């Protein structure tokens, strides 16, 4: 009884750790020494995230090479694995800017940028997995 409770708690803790790491814990493998675990890495999801990130960065890089006259950026959606700091890092890298923020189109800061300057809208199309960059 005691060992089954310990095993359940251990399995629950391992499942939480693997979830945080982005992999799925499948439980104890039944290995006789009690040390074998099955871990499933969601390969298709990982590959799609990589393709999405590559698409986003590549498209922004191509846009930057055309040297458009923009004074700011706003975003509308981003790839699933992206965070705002990833969006801002891409803009900082390609435009050699040290201090830039990229607000959401729907935010007050984004609305102000759209009214006051030449802005590029970084529009992520999640259905087609494409970044479209628009200048109003």
Residue range 33-81, pLDDT digits in tens = 444 555 555 567 778 888 898 999 999 999 999 988 888 999 999 988 7
Q: Which residue has the higher pLDDT, 98 or 73?
A: 73
Claim to verify: residue 35 and residue 52 sit in the same structural domain: no
Q: Is 44 exposed, middle or buried (0-12, 13-18, 19+ CB in 10 A)?
A: exposed
Claim to verify: residue 81 and residue 122 sit in the same structural domain: yes
pLDDT at 81: 76
pLDDT at 19: 52
Of the ranges 45-54, 79-88, 119-128, the best mean pLDDT one:
119-128
Cα(46)–Cα(70) distance, rounded to whole angstroms? 33
pLDDT at 28: 47
Claim to verify: residue 79 and residue 118 sit in the same structural domain: yes
Q: Which residue has the higher pLDDT, 18 or 116?
A: 116
Provide the domain limits for residue 130: 44-134
Claim to verify: residue 62 and residue 48 sit in the same structural domain: yes
Over residues 105-116, the mean pLDDT reads 94
Q: How many domains does the chain have?
A: 2
Claim to verify: residue 94 and residue 49 sit in the same structural domain: yes
Claim to verify: residue 56 and residue 27 sit in the same structural domain: no
Claim to verify: residue 53 and residue 105 sit in the same structural domain: yes
Q: Look up the pTM and report it.
A: 0.66
Claim to verify: residue 64 and residue 119 sit in the same structural domain: yes
Claim to verify: residue 9 and residue 50 sit in the same structural domain: no
């Amino acid at each position: 009884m005691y060992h089954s409770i310990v095993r359940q708690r251990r399995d629950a803790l391992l499942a939480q750790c693997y979830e945080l790491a982005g992999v799925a814990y499948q439980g104890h493998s039944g290995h006789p020494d009690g040390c074998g675990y099955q871990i499933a890495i969601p390969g298709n999801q990982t590959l799609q995230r990589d393709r999405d990130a590559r698409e986003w960065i590549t498209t922004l890089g191509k846009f930057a090479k055309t040297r458009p006259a923009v004074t700011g950026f706003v975003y509308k959606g981003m790839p699933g694995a992206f965070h705002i700091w990833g969006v801002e890092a891409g803009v900082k890298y390609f435009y050699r800017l040290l201090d830039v923020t990229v607000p959401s189109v729907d935010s007050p800061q984004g609305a102000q940028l759209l009214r006051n300057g030449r802005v590029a809208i970084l529009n992520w199309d999640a259905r087609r997995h494409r970044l479209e960059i628009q200048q109003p």
